[in-house]
Amino acid sequence: MKKLNTRLDKIAATLEKSEMKDMIDNYMNPKKRIIANLTAGLARGLGLTLGTALVLGLLGYILSFFVNVPMIGDFISNLQGYIEQSKS
């Protein structure tokens, strides 16, 4: 019986450390859950947007150095032509 009590005390201490009560409260309160999920979704979307813009900007900057290379320069000038056509 003493081993069982010791084991239960360890389990209780572990659950307290893992903040199980907070997780249950968040699960039982739909308003908190909606706000948390909305905030997480906005953060992911903003991060994805900024990351994509940064990577594409760097890629464009790096590709600008290759404009003078014959095959790559022709390809990039064709792309620029398509972009200009789509703008007008």
What digits encode the pLDDT tens for the residues 16-73?
A: 777 777 777 777 888 888 898 999 999 999 999 999 999 999 998 887 787 677 777 7
Number of domains within the chain: 1
19 in the Ramachandran plot: left (φ > 0), alpha (ψ -120 to 50) or beta? left
Q: Whole-model pTM above 0.85?
A: no
User: Residue 55 has what pLDDT?
Assistant: 96
To the nearest 10°, report the CA torsion of 55, 58, 63, 66: -140
32: domain range? 2-87
